[in-house]
Amino acid sequence: MRATQSELQQAGRGAEAVRVWEERSRASLLADPTGFGGFWWLVLATEGLPEPPWLLRARAPADRPEVG
């Protein structure tokens, strides 16, 4: 995407280059551990209700440190 952004800038297509930059910026926020990629969830439960399926999937990557 960076190459596309550069090509658009060189071709005088600044508005399109800015849109590509915005997409790159958003994507990095989601993947970067210092951005939303490092976001932790606080889940409160009601006794007797099962855990939601998304919580079970979220626990799958065991490479995060334990909190507590």
Residue pLDDT, tens place only, 44-62: 888 998 888 888 787 776 5
Closest CA to 40 of 67, 12, 10: 67
CA separation for the pair 27, 11 (Å, rounded): 24
Of 6 and 61, the one with more pLDDT: 6
Q: Which residue has the tokens 């995060």?
A: 64
Q: What is the mean pLDDT of the chain?
A: 78
Q: Which residue has the tokens 């939303």?
A: 36
Closest CA to 5 of 31, 24, 32, 27: 24
DSSP H helical ranges for 1-68: 2-10, 14-31, 53-58
pTM of the model: 0.41
